[in-house]
Amino acid sequence: MLTDSVIGKNVTFKELQDLIENFNYLYATKGYVTARAFLPPQTIENGVVKINLVEGTVGNITVEDNRWTRESFIKKRLSAKEGEIFEIGLLEQDILKFNKYNDGVKLKANLEKGESIGTTDIKLKAEEKFPFHVIGLMDNAGRKTIGELRGGLMAYADSLFGYRDRLSLGAYASRHSVTPFADYNIPVNKYDGKVGFTFSSSFAQIGEGPYKMFDIKSRSYNYALYYTHPLIRKPFFELTSYSAVNYKQASTSFSDVTIYTDKITSFETALNARYDTKKGIWYLNQGVYQAFPIFSDVSKYFKYTGSLIRLHDFGHGIVGQFRGMYQYSPQDVIPYIDQFQAGGLATVRGYSEGLLIGRSGYILSAELMFPLAPQTITLKKKTEKRKVPFVGKYVKGIAFVDHAGIYPFKGEGPGAQTYHQSDYMISMGLGLRITLPGDATARLYWGSPLMHNSHEGYYRNPRFHFEISLAPDFDKLLKYRKRREAL
């Protein structure tokens, strides 16, 4: 104890002052900036010296400008409670954590003298972005038989009911398919654990190619109830858990006669990690998935899934992205809705979408993004020099190499087929990443297959892939409107 140095001893006034300073130093290092020790005027009798300790407490906690975030949600994420000892270090940590993990809202804190003696009021001011967004999408990531060109629209709210609960709604559509989807999640504790529900479905019909005459249609539905929870949150490392129960149903029909239907009930759990380094970021995902034979005896299987991504800054505007993904299932046959697919815009560019599918497989990809021109140029006008944006700010070049291997079940015994060239794909190519001032972005790729695949029914070399998105920044538009009204 601090007082051990003076109890039972003859002490000077300076030694008492040193003791007071030790108390105050301890308060400061613990973050109790409103707590102080002092020596009041007194008459020392029988060797007893009184030291007064005044520990400031938290007064009123108020929140301002929180139009889209409920006050109760913000206060629950603060360790400071009214009437408790005020600790500024803990308040700073809580605000930094809140601002980092809650997109679209930032907090600032001001301290004021409380109404009661010895109290400190905390006034929080929220800076919020407009929480509603719309994104328009277009790409050629559809399949030839149901329509390569796809259009999509997605709307989402960052804080639907004021609890930073996120709702996403949207749909993709091609000439012969529609894919709607929805997701809702809400934080359920102060540690940002979230419960969510997701739904997606697909309705497709073969509208082109030699199988059009059979009037083949497919229907699929996917429901999931999930929970995510942050396990570790450090400045350079984060680890989050994910667990979900799923129900999936997929059916195929010929001339409106259902041929078969898969009904799958499963549980999955995964760990997601992020590690920040001086030159980039690592992302790691590892998961396990178990399907149970509740509705069908054949719907019992197990699979491992995982991915590893590295974003690396090489300097001079050159950024690398390196990806690896895999799935492994020891089961011979699993429903197609849970199989691993590769080929196309998001996996192996240069091949048609979803060209290969199987119970197990892997994907490897390396991509470099580099500047094509300076981002700004300097214009001289008499004695004035002014920097203006140039092509390099909006357009960047891309070079990539993609590879995948897919392992479907090919039977057992002497007559079983072996894996060969057509179970693999490898390609390389070039592309452009375009970002325009009007909130529009585009990714354009030209991929060339380096290995012929006998499953490719629509061979092109090079094959062109594109994705265009338009996401208006409503927050910026509203701020611009307010400035115009103020003039």
Q: Show the tokens assigned to 480.
A: 């611009």
* Ramachandran region, residue 19 (left: φ > 0; alpha: ψ -120 to 50; beta: rest): alpha
Each residue of 322-337: pLDDT tens digit? Answer: 999 999 999 988 998 9
| pLDDT value of position 383 | 73
Q: Classify residue 168 by burial, with Cβ atoms within 10 Å: 0-12, 13-18, 19+.
A: middle
Give dist(CA 45, CA 352) in Å, integer. Answer: 94
CA 22 vs CA 15, 47, 156: distances in Å: 11, 21, 54
Q: What is the pTM of this model?
A: 0.87
| pLDDT value of position 393 | 87
Domains parsed from the chain with CATH numbers: 2-55 (3.10.20.310), 57-128 (3.10.20.310), 133-483 (2.40.160.50)
Average pLDDT over residues 85-94: 86
Rg of the Cα atoms in the chain: 31
40 close to 50: Cβ distance less than 8 angstroms = yes
Residue with token string 């300790």:
53
Each residue of 164-219: pLDDT tens digit? Answer: 999 999 999 999 999 999 999 999 998 999 999 999 999 999 988 888 888 889 99
Each residue of 36-75: pLDDT tens digit? Answer: 776 777 777 777 777 776 767 888 999 999 999 999 999 9
Q: Does pLDDT of 419 surpass 70?
A: yes
Listed residue (68, 42, 41, 40) closest to 54, CA to CA: 40
Whether omega for the bond prior to residue 374 falls within 30 degrees of 0, making it cis, is no
Q: Show the tokens assigned to 81.
A: 């409670």
262 close to 337: Cβ distance less than 8 angstroms = yes
Q: Does pLDDT of 20 surpass 90?
A: no
Q: Among 354-358, 389-393, 478-482, whose mean pLDDT is lowest? A: 478-482
| pLDDT value of position 247 | 96
| pLDDT value of position 150 | 97
| pLDDT value of position 147 | 93
What residue type is 464 in one-letter code? Answer: F
Give dist(CA 438, CA 384) in Å, integer. Answer: 29
β-pairing verdict for 57-64 and 119-128? parallel
For the chain, the first-to-last Cα distance in angstroms comes to 64
Which pLDDT band, with edges at 50, 70 and 90, does 415 fall under? low
Give dist(CA 299, CA 293) in Å, integer. Answer: 5
Each residue of 121-137: pLDDT tens digit? Answer: 999 999 999 999 999 99
Strand partners, 216: 254
Listed residue (148, 128, 129) closest to 138, CA to CA: 148
Listed residue (75, 205, 195, 234) closest to 146, CA to CA: 205
Q: Cβ contacts of residue 353 below 8 Å, gap of 6+?
A: 141, 142, 143, 148, 343, 344, 345
Each residue of 249-295: pLDDT tens digit? Answer: 999 998 888 888 889 999 999 999 999 999 999 999 999 999 998 87
Mean pLDDT score across all residues of the chain: 89
- If DSSP states are collapsed to H, E and C, what string results for 294-349? CCCCCCCEEEEEEEEEEEEEEECCEEEEEEEEEEECCCCCCCHHHCEEECCCCCCC
- Total residue count of the chain as it appears in this document: 487
Q: Among 18-27, 61-70, 187-196, 478-487, whose mean pLDDT is lowest? A: 478-487
154 close to 213: Cβ distance less than 8 angstroms = no
414 versus 398: which is more confidently predicted? Answer: 398
Q: Cβ contacts of residue 43 below 8 Å, gap of 6+?
A: none
| pLDDT value of position 339 | 95
Q: Show the tokens assigned to 442.
A: 């585009």
